[in-house]
Amino acid sequence: MGLVPEIDYGTPHPRGLKGDTDAKMVTLTIDGETVTVAEGTSIMRAAMDSGVTIPKLCATDMLDAFGSCRLCLVEIQGRAGTPASCTTPVAPGMVVSTQTDRLKRLRKGVMELYISDHPLDCLTCAANGDCELQDMAGAVGLREVRYGMEGANHLGQAKDTSNPYFTFDPSKCIVCSRCVRACQEVQGTFALTIQDRGFESKVSAGMDEDFMDSECVSCGACVQACPTATLMEKSVIEIGQPEHSVVTTCAYCGVGCSFKAEMRGTELVRMVPYKDGAANRGHSCVKGRFAWGYATHRERILKPMIRAKITDPWREVSWEEAISHTASEFKRIQEKYGRMSVGGITSSRCTNEETYLVQKLVRAGFNNNNVDTCARVCHSPTGYGLGTAYGTSAGTQDFDSVEDTDVVMVVGANPTDGHPVFGSRLKKRLRQGAKLIVVDPRRIDLVKTPHVEAAYHLPLLPGTNVAVMTAIAHVIVTEGLVNEAFVRERCDWDEFQDWAAFVAEERHSPEAVEVYTGVPAADLRAAARLYATGGNAAIYYGLGVTEHSQGSTTVMAIANLAMVTGNLGRRGVGVNPLRGQNNVQGSCDMGSFPHELPGYRHVGDEATRAIFEDMWGVTLEKEPGLRIPNMLDAAVDGSFKGLYVQGEDIVQSDPDTHHVTHGLESMECVVVQDLFLNETANYAHVFLPGSTFLEKDGTFTNAERRINRVRRVMPPRNGYADWEITQLLSNALGYPMNYGHPSEIMAEIAATTPGFRNVTYQLLEEKGSVQWPCNDQAPDGTPIMHIGGFARGKGKLVLTEYIPTDERTGPRFPLLLTTGRILSQYNVGAQTRRTANSEWHKEDRLEMHPHDAENRGVRDGDWVKLQSRAGETTLRALITDRVSPGVVYTTFHHPMTQANVITTDYSDWATNCPEYKVTAVQISPSNGPSDWQEKYKSHSDLSRRIISVDAAE
């Protein structure tokens, strides 16, 4: 199995100041031992650090000290009473006793009261063996309970089982408030409260609602914090307490949270956020924490399948037949149509090692550069824009950096839905007083959420990002807010002067752009001043920046703002792309683009090619290959005939669905390697079953450039990890690969890629994770980029001329559609739709402003036809003022909606990233699904017919 030994959480402790090297030190005595700790440390923490354990219930290392359970009492010489050690700070010369007879008596009495109002069902309780109340009762020596509380207890309270993933049993609640505090302090949702007072007090979701009806976002923080079986995972109740665990990395979004996969035998019982995970610091969201059931979903395909025509039923075959058939098809196609007639698409869901192997297969096995990745359709402008400005195609900070931020500007991102764990960390910083600017057409949750309110929301019209960013620059320059010292040191001064003259032109002023951006000039001016003068300022942005015809220009406009205000090269500042998929950063790093070898080095560069030619033993093509849209164009033209797609669903995720399907239909061999028969598989001739992140070893690289280990939790149900399948295919094609473990692939990556030079699995075991660059100059990795200088030397300030998209509104299509994600679903929904997460989001809805809805006679919940110049679809309307008049919004998680049917084929000028965020549309009432959707559904059903090996024989 290759399971790694369980790694413990580390010693729990309430927070103190330990680790703050500037703090004054304090020496005291605890139980006769001299202890020296930082000033401000709690007595409980000091005691734990010196090896003394004080009983506790309401304290946990994830939460601020609370002092309510009355178990952690201590005696302090010269002081009256028995203060709580979790809330009492140390003082010089203090003499503390933690284990006197009096304290033991008091603790035992307190515990007796807890237990008297608690079911005495320890032996049958699902938490038996993992219950802090049980442990503490033992620790204080409680053997029997003298009090009966008949008629005045909480034992008869009804259990809430409404949440699909956990239960709430108030009869077991000791009202320690850990769940309430976790919801507030860690998650920042404030869904839980303590209702009533004294003995009547109880934990309540919302206004005494079921969990499912409340504001709860099912992040699991409350379940994790609960010291009893009050809040408990249903999977633990069903399967039993876990016996061992493996630390691994979430395979959903680019936050890259670390989890302990807790197992009972070979069965996964639960995923618990790992407290030592540097990206998530012990927190999680509903996807990583609970939505892993797709791994064993009945629709998962576990046997390879082939078919001659895409209208034929699938035929299950052996792995040997599938691989040799695929290899012979690719060979036949290359012999008939030429070397360039085939290509591959790597996956941002797969590991670095798997992605590296697919691009190696294409370059060395197919002998061309026809490889591309789904980053093409999301963050390719980030690579281009930040590479141009700073010399590195990645974000500048680590997530911890937000703790030192004074001003946060969120542009075209919705962190609480798209990157929830970072969203929670951000909200925490905002609750501590940091200021927030939101630049987004839609009123995302961050604009106003409990205890957080944006200082400015700039609700720009979709497609006007460049104008708004340049107008912010205009204010900074014309109001004298430039950090001249930083610019003189870090940028080319002449270039800066050209840039400053450009942005200072009156046509870039907030007043001039207000008319077409929709952003009030006064708000824009105030936001610009805040960004430039409010202290450490950080920009976080998402696909609302990149998926535009000027996506790369906006990234460079953002990069300009950070440079001219000096907000780079230290904690609390920077430019931070919030990467969508778990390994989108890694798939770009690994050379997935047709013009770049691993490490972002151009295929035309002879010296770089020589490194790989030596390593791979082949002569490499020096011309860039085809991008995904070019592959599809070439397929329609008849020159591109074979495609190997690993872990992507381009029919659902790429623009202009009709064009994508037409391209796929024109090919002779489409190979899809995935977990499920996805929409692209409808056009495939070979299906190779893929493996989940639970079934393989490797690494993911998150949005902070953090390389995190993925560890095998269980054997691959399909027989092979994805990297092994690529290797089998390569060998069958005649290009030998002989890796025994992904660590060997990483060794090859390190040997060929300067930013990964020192990365080894051993280093990752020792450090947990590292952020690239990790080489001789930065042996421990690089949390903050561009300290003291940019990777490219002088930072480059690019003139960012606003060029309106060709996609215009008019009488036929008067509204602008923009798209985004929702918390519970993920991308095209292949995984999350196969979990109980669908209970929160069963269908994509179209958000419309009440004014637009009324004009069209549309009511909330009505079916509407959504039409663009490219196509039409139908879905139901959600009437809300989250969107401005003239703007509509939908998600793209469900195949029957197919939002990309209506998006256009406009794309970013530099990278071809599709312009998903701006489509001119019209909306009209409808009776139900469109003809296209009905036809699509029947085609989809037809192509999914499978003849099993047994049935075929």
Q: Which residues bind ligand SF4 (CB under 6 A)?
A: 250, 252-253, 255-257, 280, 284-285, 287-288, 419-421
By C-beta, is 657 or 702 nearer to ligand SF4? 702
Extract the tokens encoding 60: 């946990």
Rounded least distance, CB 187 to ligand SF4, Å:
11
By C-beta, is 838 or 943 nearer to ligand SF4? 838
Q: Which residue is nearest to ligand SF4 (CB)?
A: 288
Q: Are 287 and 824 in contact (CB under 8 A)?
A: yes
Q: Enumerate residues 6+ apart whose C-beta is below 8 A from 276.
A: 7, 9, 10, 258, 282, 768
CA distances (Å), origin 715, targets 240, 261, 267, 288, 694: 21, 14, 11, 20, 8
Rounded least distance, CB 717 to ligand SF4, Å:
21
Rounded least distance, CB 809 to ligand SF4, Å:
35
By C-beta, is 349 or 435 nearer to ligand SF4? 349
438: closest CA among 456, 453, 423?
456
Tell me how far apart the 2 most distant CA atoms of the chain are, in Å. 93
517: closest CA among 465, 555, 475?
465
Determine if residue 141 is left, alpha or beta; phi over 0 gives left, psi from -120 to 50 gives alpha, anything else beta.
Answer: left
Rounded least distance, CB 203 to ligand SF4, Å:
24
Rounded least distance, CB 253 to ligand SF4, Å:
3
Q: Are 780 and 771 in contact (CB under 8 A)?
A: no
Using DSSP's 3-state secondary structure scheme, residue 671 falls into strand
By C-beta, is 391 or 420 nearer to ligand SF4? 420
Number of H helices, E strands in the chain: 30, 37
Using DSSP's 3-state secondary structure scheme, residue 356 falls into helix
| Beta strand extents in 224-307 (DSSP E only) | 231-233, 244-249, 258-264, 267-273, 305-306
φ/ψ of residue 762, rounded to 5: -65, -45
Q: How far apart are CA 399 and CA 403, in angstroms?
A: 8
Rounded least distance, CB 891 to ligand SF4, Å:
15
Q: In what order do the strands lie in the sheet with 25-30?
A: 33-38, 25-30, 95-97, 75-76
Rounded least distance, CB 272 to ligand SF4, Å:
11
Q: How far apart are CA 373 and CA 365, in angstroms?
A: 18
| DSSP summary character for residue 160 | B
Extract the tokens encoding 517: 């951006």
475: closest CA among 418, 429, 445, 514?
514
By C-beta, is 62 or 460 nearer to ligand SF4? 62
By C-beta, is 245 or 903 nearer to ligand SF4? 245
Rounded least distance, CB 280 to ligand SF4, Å:
6
| Beta strand extents in 118-266 (DSSP E only) | 166-168, 192-195, 202-205, 231-233, 244-249, 258-264
Rounded least distance, CB 293 to ligand SF4, Å:
15
414: closest CA among 543, 285, 555?
543
894: closest CA among 809, 803, 827?
827
Q: How far apart are CA 846 and CA 875, in angstroms?
A: 7
Q: Are 36 and 26 in contact (CB under 8 A)?
A: yes
Rounded least distance, CB 538 to ligand SF4, Å:
18
By C-beta, is 284 or 943 nearer to ligand SF4? 284
How far is CA 366 from its chain centroid?
Answer: 33
By C-beta, is 164 or 343 nearer to ligand SF4? 164
Q: Of all helices (H) and strands (E), which one includes residue 888?
A: strand 887-891
Extract the tokens encoding 945: 């017919």
By C-beta, is 278 or 878 nearer to ligand SF4? 278
By C-beta, is 285 or 301 nearer to ligand SF4? 285
Q: Are 51 and 45 in contact (CB under 8 A)?
A: no
By C-beta, is 645 or 675 nearer to ligand SF4? 675
Strands 25-30 and 769-771: unpaired
By C-beta, is 586 or 871 nearer to ligand SF4? 586
| DSSP summary character for residue 158 | P
Rounded least distance, CB 941 to ligand SF4, Å:
31
By C-beta, is 256 or 781 nearer to ligand SF4? 256
Rounded least distance, CB 503 to ligand SF4, Å:
36
By C-beta, is 280 or 873 nearer to ligand SF4? 280
* Other CB atoms within 10 A of residue 141 CB: 10
By C-beta, is 274 or 916 nearer to ligand SF4? 274
By C-beta, is 134 or 258 nearer to ligand SF4? 258
Rounded least distance, CB 417 to ligand SF4, Å:
10
Rounded least distance, CB 696 to ligand SF4, Å:
17
By C-beta, is 251 or 472 nearer to ligand SF4? 251
Rounded least distance, CB 858 to ligand SF4, Å:
33
Rounded least distance, CB 258 to ligand SF4, Å:
9
| Beta strand extents in 740-787 (DSSP E only) | 769-771
Rounded least distance, CB 91 to ligand SF4, Å:
40
353: closest CA among 2, 767, 716, 724?
724
Q: Enumerate residues 6+ apart whose C-beta is below 8 A from 248.
A: 258, 259, 261, 693, 694, 709, 710, 711, 713
Q: How far apart are CA 660 and CA 655, in angstroms?
A: 8
Q: Are 671 and 644 in contact (CB under 8 A)?
A: yes
Rounded least distance, CB 256 to ligand SF4, Å:
5
